Each structure stands twice: as structure tokens, then as C-alpha cells.
Chain A
Amino acid sequence: MENFEPVIVAFCCHYCAYTAADMAGTQRLPYPANVKIIRIPCSGKIDTLHIVKAFEKGADGVYVAGCLEGDCHFKNGNVKAAKRVAYVQKYLEEIGLESERLEMVNISAGMGHRFAELASTMTEKIRKLGPSPVKAAAAL
């Protein structure tokens, strides 16, 4: 458990969080390598199946990062994403996974600092929760 390095998948909207990650890099802000970024054209493109599959394939934590409320490039993709995240959180509980392993966050393209901070807090949170029980069982 001490050496546990969580695998975290971050689905990042091209117009905000992905650009914020870029900015974090340009500003030379360190953030944990545990976070694997997947660029999506809008957080509203995220499907419940993408999130569930990420957990099935071994993610310990997942977060969907969309634009600040009211700032979605496609009007309300981030609001739709938040609803889907809430739906999957309930499903995870049914499966027997902690719903805290999944989060929806809102961020703007200029928030490089915030991106790095979020990546760190999510990594710390998942580190405390421990490995996903699914992954732990699969490893046995």
C-alpha cells in the first residue's frame, strides 16, 4: 500500500482543461504523473460507458474536466457531463466501488495552477482510498 501509485484518468475538454494542462506545462508547474490525460472535444462528449470502461480496465480514479459553468464552447456540454458523472457515481456504488473515485471538475483554459492543484489533490485522495477493489481483485 505504501508504494501504491494510483492510475488516474482525466478526460479533459479541448477548450479548457486540456489547454490548462498545456499552460501548467508551459509554466513548468509540476503535477503527479499518475494523471493520464485523454483529450475530448467537449466534456459533453464523455459517455457513461467511457467512464465505466476506464474503471474496468484498471483506473483507480477518474475525473472529467469541463469548462466553467456558462462557459461551454458548445453551450451546455459541461452540464450534461456533470449529470452523466453523477449517474455513474451511483452505478459505481452499486458495483461496490467508492463513488469518490469519480469526480466532475470545472476549470478554464487559463487556470494552469488550478489544473496542477486538481491533479495533485485527486492523486492524494485516491492514494488515501487505496487501489480500486476491482484492480486489487484482478491482481490476485
Chain B
Amino acid sequence: MTMPNSPKDLYRPRRAEIREVIVENSQIKTFVLAFVDRAHNGSFTYQPGQFMMVSVPHCGEAPISISSTPADSGTIHLSVRRAGILTAALHDMKQGDMVGLRGPYGRPFPMTALAGSDLLFVAGGIGLAPLRSVINTCLAAGHDRRITILYGSRTPSDIAFQGDLASWGQTAGVNCLLTVDRSEPGWEGEVGLVTGLFAQCALEPDESKALVCGPPMMIRAVLAQLADRGFADGNIITTMERHMKCGVGICRHCHMDDKLVCKDGPVFTLEELKRLKVMELRG
């Protein structure tokens, strides 16, 4: 694993070129990026769950989780929902344009612990981005336990990462189920909350780890469902999203009680989160 930028360059990004822009839906685009410095691009690596600080000219920086897998070296995928000034400017950028990147930062998913377990992934909307990194990493590593993927979108045209979903749907040992909040003509799949998909899954909570990522409302509903199913808090893993400025544990914008999401997270177990006053759990 490469170190983050050297201390001298702590806040100075490296230049990265947009190699490709994948339109996931009307709100989400995936930017395929490569560092201009070829040596750095060749040695750069990261772990699923980590994030990059992305610089866009005149817009400052924002933390974006990495949605690609380190096995695909040479490029980094950042899937970005249009949400504010920086992400709107990023959405207007095209192939060949330049952004700044620093990272990777943050505590990744516990990949070693995941390797020996059945894995349940529950995601809503852009929440699939960091989980996509885990899923593809596990598949590339030949994960030999059951994988279940439950993905909720607002409407059928909001379904992102369609290429991945199609590929996972055809992979042996992977059960990939989709649902939408509101149907559209031509949609023959499930309609309803992602928690509605649990009925179709055979789950062995003691043998499983659940990875949950999505909007706070969804997280709360899914956590309740997992508790009903008998998942222990230590086997439920999620990622937290917070305003960040430095990304390296100094500026304190992402504080959650005595924890900093950029350093102690963004990946947390439910067991860890329950010791904190966390808005996502309390509503």
C-alpha cells in the first residue's frame, strides 16, 4: 500500500486526468481517473472503503469514496452524485479534463474478516459505490462463501452501476436482487423498500457479515431488519458520510463525539456506532 502524500505535500493534491465519464443515471456519474504522474499511478493502491479528497478548480475539495477495486490497477473510479457546488462542477467536466486528488484516506472495510463469511450487501442509491469496491474485490479474490446483494433505487431509471449488477446477477454464488420505490412502464421487478427484499434471502446471521450503505432513512430501516434477523451489532458494518476539510484527522469537521470519520472511519461497525450519538441511528 502506498503512503498518502508525503508530509510536505499533505494538503497539495496530485493532478489526475479524467479518462472516461460513465453516466450511471441522471444524478450519478462515475469518473474514471488516472494520475498524471505515471510512476505514482503505477504504484498507487488503496483498500475498499477508503476515500479520496477531490479538488475541482475554484470549488475546493470534497471526500469521495472509491468505487473501483484495487485489483483493477491503473485507474480509480469515483462515483459522484450531483449534490452541491463541487459535484455539480465535476458533473460538467469531460474526458481529458483535470482534477486534483489526494489520498487514499480512512479506515477501510475489514477485508480479511469478510473473507471467511457469508456477505450481505444492502445499498440504496449512491450507497452502492463503496460496496461495489468490496464486492468486486471479493469476487476477484475468489470469495467462496455466499454473497447476497440487495439494491434499492428510486425508480428504474435511477438504477446505477447497471453493468456491475448484470454481471453479479450472472455470477454463481451471488444472489443479486433489485427493487425500486416507484415503478415506471416496462419495469417488471420488485417495487418497495429494500427491506422488502429480505424475505427472498436465505440468511445465516451467525455466519454472515452485513454491509449497509445508503441514505439515513434506509440505514435505520435496514438496521432494524437486521436486528430482527438476529445479526449481532459487531457483524453489521456501514460507512458514515460527513463534511470534511482536511481528510487526515486534524480539522475536526467530521467529528462524531470523540471519533473522526476521516480517520476512525468512514467504515464503522454498528457496535462502534452505538457507543456514539449518531444522527443516522437516532433520526
Q: Verify that A and B bind, or say they do not.
A: no
Q: Tell me the B residues contacting A by CB distance below 8 Å.
A: none
